Amino acid sequence: MRTNKLRVRRIAIFCTIFMGLGATVTLNAETELTAVNAEAFMNRAESRLAELSVKVNQASWVQSNFITEDTQALAAAANDEIAAVTTELVEESKKYDGVKMSPDLARKFMLLRLSLTAPAPKDAKLRREMTELGSWLEGEYGKGKYCRKGADGKELCQDITEIEQRMAESRDPAELLDLWKGWHGIAPHMRDKYTRFVGLSNQGARELGFKDVGALWRGGYDMTPEEFSAELDRLYDQVKPLYLALHTYVRTQLSKHYGPGVVPPTGPIPAHLLGNIWAQSWGNVYPLLNVPEENKSFDTSELLKAKKLDAKGMVKYGENFFKSMGFAPLPDTFWERSLFTKPRDRDVVCHASAWDLDNADDLRIKMCININEEDFVTIHHELGHNFYQRAYKHQPFLFQNGANDGFHEAIGDAIALAITPEYLHKVGLLEEAPKAGNDVPLLMKQALDRVAFLPFGLLIDQWRWKVFSGEIEPADYNKSWWELRKKYQGVAPPEARGEEFFDPAAKYHVAGNVPYTRYFLAHVLEFQFYRALCRESGYQGSLHRCTFFGSKEAGAKFNQMLEMGQSKPWPDALQALTGQRQMDAGALLEYFAPLKQWLDEQNKGQTQGW
């Protein structure tokens, strides 16, 4: 009975989406369309899109690694072509709306209509303008630098990698403010073109049958956009008490360090003082938080440097984790074609990313790797994308994706959670793992990255969805941005930021038009995945101490989910690994339970919230 109800529910969702996308075709005997016609159309569509996707991937790879006007033009042309073809295919697909077809085929039609994150207008001139704007915005971000005169009078220019590194280390509020303002200065000139990009993309979304681009993005989760928004609210309500406890403690300690005149003991935290240019993760301020450590502390960054690792050596550790679980090694071409270090002779987009250029085996990462703990974790995250991509390569083209986009981000993060002291000891980086006891320092370090990120992961698209819907108008872009950052994060700009600024575009995912809610979902799902893998490996004990490194049983269970790709609704994929059909923060709360208890004790007498 449960299976039948779920099956009917999925079909109802498909029908709801299909009815919202186009009128049902009235058929007569002469023009009757059948499931055979629909399948033939879909086979042609997938073949054409697979071919064009390789062309786009290659052009985009070159553009990201060699930022010039020419490579931007080539990438724009490739994106324009696939946007035009996809738009035509979506339009043609509407004539099959009334045809009875198998659930798998119906799912492909749905995914085809949801495949464009930046749907372009049908008009060729407008479509070309939009793709050129998209390439320009990403290129401007990649070329961004903060330039000023150094102490010697010569011009000093720093890119985002250098700025991030310095902000992680500096404890001088004046220097941190200067760097923060400098990086955010790359964005104001993007404002008008971003506004035009939004307008054109919205036009494309409406021509596909959606209210706006935000509604299209929210439609990709096997539920209606309204149901998905409610799901996000439910998940955030689960994690909000933990975030508030962390925020209160961090604010108190930063106020003690910098003084109440710099960090008020109540109210939001100044955005430039959290060790990260966007205040999205706070791990770099850990040394300022006065966390008592009973065991001898260790610094993973120093452990990596002591091994005299180069960038490729860092990546090898990530690959070896997957190999220990039974996954095949990465292909030789991965090592030949990936970008591991920032070239000295050209601008590149240093934002870490994973690539599957041929929908098969041409896997790569692009990353300007530093020898530190943050990049060690990021490498595991990016390789998670690559191993997921390879696992579902045998699926039809439209099923070659994560069960939902949060799954894709959560895969590597679940592996990264298993980078415990025990794991570092097993792989020879740590001579002896600290004994179990006071694990608050370990949990605090994890929380500063993962829990601190949660509201940031949510607010980026909250801002964009309101921009797409028109609720936030261009005249209020910056004002609304900081209102949302205060509402969700309890973070404030270090100075007044009027509409002469465009601070959202100082974040890559806004300039690059990359949906961001996936990262919020990933930070919930990774703990569900992690707990399931720990159980499959036979681990017993405190959840935060688990590593399933070397467990073939966990690897086999993991691969069972990965191979499904997007062929089934995400609850089916989630159930395959975890036994659950609902995204749930319960595993995250279990992981951090000892820290939450400790924070509540430390925060007695303090004002929570802002």
Given the structure tokens 């990009």, which residue do they identify? 197
Up-side HSE of residue 361: CA atoms within 13 Å toward CB? 7
Contact (Cβ atoms closer than 8 angstroms) between residue 399 and residue 566: yes
- As annotated, the active-site residues are 382, 509
Q: Give all strands (DSSP E) within 210-273, no chain letters.
A: 269-270
Measure the CA–CA gap between 96 and 39, rounded to whole angstroms. 10
Up-side HSE of residue 420: CA atoms within 13 Å toward CB? 21
Contact (Cβ atoms closer than 8 angstroms) between residue 62 and residue 75: yes
- Cα torsion 393, 396, 400, 405 to 10°: value is -150
Measure the CA–CA gap between 242 and 444, rounded to whole angstroms. 12
Q: What residues does 363 pair with on adjacent strands?
A: 356
CB atoms within 10 A of CB 96: 23
Q: Which two tokens stand for residue 289?
A: 């938080």
Residue 446 corresponds to which amino acid?
Q
DSSP code of residue 357:
T
In this structure, which long-range contacts are made by residues 288-294, counting pairs with CB atoms below 8 Å and at least 24 apart in sequence?
A: 288/171, 288/253, 288/254, 288/257, 289/249, 289/250, 289/253, 289/444, 290/253, 290/256, 291/440, 291/441, 291/444, 292/438, 292/440, 292/441, 293/438, 293/441, 294/437, 294/438
Measure the CA–CA gap between 282 and 379, rounded to whole angstroms. 19
Picking from 293, 239, 251, 254, the residue whose alpha carbon sits closest to that of residue 437 is 293
Strands 491-492 and 269-270: parallel
DSSP code of residue 155:
E
Measure the CA–CA gap between 368 and 378, rounded to whole angstroms. 11
Please list the alpha-helical segments (H only) found in 470-551: 477-489, 508-511, 517-536
Picking from 416, 369, 399, 382, the residue whose alpha carbon sits closest to that of residue 573 is 399
Picking from 553, 83, 16, 575, the residue whose alpha carbon sits closest to that of residue 326 is 553
Contact (Cβ atoms closer than 8 angstroms) between residue 610 and residue 248: no
